[in-house]
Amino acid sequence: MSIQEPQRPALQPAGFALWQLGFRPFYLLASGFAALSIGLWALQFSGWLPLPYLAGPLWHAHEMLFGFTLAVMVGFLLTAGRNWSNRPTLTGLPLAALALLWVAGRVLVLTPFGWAAALVNAAFPLAAAAALALPFWAARNRRNYFFVGLLVLMSAAEAGVHLSQLGVLNLPPWLGVQVGLDLALFIISVMAGRVIPMFTNNGVPGAGAAQHAWLDNATLASVLALLAVDLLRPDGVALVVIALFGAAAHALRWLLWKPWTTWLTPLVWVLHAAYAWIPIHLALRAAAALGAVSGSTATHALTVGAVGSLVIGMMTRTSRGHTARPMRADAFDTACYALVLLAALVRVVLPLAAPTSLRHAVVGSAALWSAGFGLFAVRYWPVLTRPRLDGKPG
C-alpha cells in the first residue's frame, strides 16, 4: 500500500523558504482562502451570516475562479516554468510582491472601490504572464508560450466582469466568468494530458496508460469550440452538440489512461478522479442547455469536481516533489482527496437527486471542501515554509 507516513530525516533544514519558488506562497494562500471563503459563503447562502460576505453569487464565482483557481495556476506555472525553460522564475521580493497583489485583489472586492478592484485584479494575471514570458522568451521555449497568452486572456475575462459591473461594458457580467471557466478548463485539459498518463505509468508499473494525438487534439478543440459558443452566444443547439462531443472525447481519453489500475496509489488516482468530472461537467452543460438540469449544477461539476480535485492532487504532489519528500500520499493527503471529492459529490449529485435539498447540499459540500483545503493548509504549512530536505534551492 502507498498510504503511509514517510520516514523523516532526524534533522530538518532550518530557515524560512516561503519565497524561494512560486508554488510555496500561492499554494498556502489558495488553500487557506479556499477553506475560509467557501465557509463564509455557505453561511451567507444559508442565511446564518448576519452581514453578507460577498455581494452575491457573481462574486462567489469570481473569487473561486479568479481568486482561488488562478492563484494555484500561477503558483504551478511559476514552478513548472523554471523546469520547462531552465531559467529562474520569480523568487524573493518580486514573488512576495506578486502574492501581495493577489491578496489586495481579494480585499478590494469586499470594498466599494470598484475601479481599484478592477485594476488590481486584472493586473495580477498580467503580471504573472510577464513573469512567465521572460524566462520562456530567454529560453525560446515556444512550446509553452500559449500559457502566457492564456493568462492574458484570463486578465481580459476578469476585466470584463468588473467593467460590466461598473457599467462600462454593455455585457452580462456572467459572460466574463463563463469565459474564465472555459479558459480554466482548457488549461486543465492541456496539463492533464501532459501529466496524468506520465504519472500513471511512472507510479503504477505496467499500467499502460495510452495517448493518441488525434484524441488529445479533439478534446482541446472541443473546449475551444465551447469557448467560441459562449462568446458568440448562438442558439442552444450548437452548445448541446459541442458539449456532448466534448464529453465523449474526454471520457474516451480518460479511459485510455487506465484509471482502474491506480486505486492503490492515491497520488495518482486522485488525478484520474478529478479528470472524470470533466466529461460529467460537459454532459451536464448539454443537459442544462436543454433545460433538464440547473446550469449551476454543471458549473459545480467543473469547479468543485474537476478543478478542486485536480488542485488538491497537484498541490500535494508538487509540494512533495519540490521539497524532496517521498512521492507517496500519506493518510493526511488521502483524507484531503476524499474530503474534496465528497464535496463535489454532495454539491452535484444531491441537488440532482432531490432538487429541494440545495441548501443542505451547499452547506454540506462547503463543510467538506473547507475541511479538505484547511487540512492541506495546516499540514503543508511547515513543508512550504521550510527549505527542501536535500538542501537544494527551490
Question: Could you give the CA distance from residue 324 to residue 345 in angstroms, rounded to a whole number?
Answer: 33
The whole-angstrom distance between residue 309's C-alpha and the CA centroid of its chain comes to 8
392 Rama class: left (phi>0) / alpha (psi -120 to 50) / beta: beta
State phi, psi for 75 to the nearest 5 degrees: -60, -40
Question: Could you give the CA distance from residue 339 to residue 312 in angstroms, rounded to a whole number?
Answer: 10
**Residue-wise pLDDT tens for the chain (394 aa)?**
344 444 444 456 778 999 999 999 999 999 999 999 999 999 999 999 998 999 999 999 999 999 999 999 999 999 999 999 999 999 999 999 999 999 999 999 999 999 999 999 999 999 999 999 999 999 999 999 999 999 999 999 999 999 999 999 999 999 999 999 999 999 999 999 999 999 999 999 999 999 999 999 999 999 999 999 999 887 789 999 999 999 999 999 999 999 999 999 999 999 999 999 999 999 999 999 999 999 999 999 999 999 999 999 999 999 999 999 999 999 999 999 999 999 999 999 999 999 999 999 999 999 999 999 999 999 999 999 999 999 888 8
- Non-local (6+) Cβ contacts of 144 within 8 A are 81, 84, 85, 132, 136
Question: Could you give the CA distance from residue 293 to residue 350 in angstroms, rounded to a whole number?
Answer: 12
For the whole prediction, is pTM greater than 0.85?
A: yes
Question: Could you tell me the three cell numbers for 169?
Answer: 461594458
Question: Could you give the CA distance from residue 11 to residue 28 in angstroms, rounded to a whole number?
Answer: 23
What ranges do the domains of the chain cover?
A: 27-385
Class of domain 27-385: mainly alpha
- At residue 88, the pLDDT reads 95
Measure the CA angle with vertex 74, ends 251 and 31; round to 5°: 80
* 3-class DSSP assignment, residue 189: helix
Q: Quick count: other Cβ atoms within 10 Å of Cβ 235?
A: 9
- At residue 261, the pLDDT reads 97
Helix axes 213-232, 173-203, angle to 10 degrees: 170
User: Residue 278 gets which letter from DSSP?
Assistant: H
Burial annotation 361-394 (CB, 10 A radius, 16+ → b, else e): bbbbbbbbbbbbbbbbbebbeebbbbbbbeeeeb
Question: Could you tell me the three cell numbers for 248?
Answer: 465523449
Q: How many CA atoms within 13 Å lie on the side-chain side of 311?
A: 32
233 Rama class: left (phi>0) / alpha (psi -120 to 50) / beta: left
Grid cell 512576495 in the structure block, residue: 96
Task: Determine the length of the chain.
Answer: 394
Measure the CA angle with vertex 252, ends 72 and 308; round to 5°: 20
Q: Quick count: other Cβ atoms within 10 Å of Cβ 234?
A: 11
Question: Could you give the CA distance from residue 347 to residue 280 in angstroms, rounded to a whole number?
Answer: 13
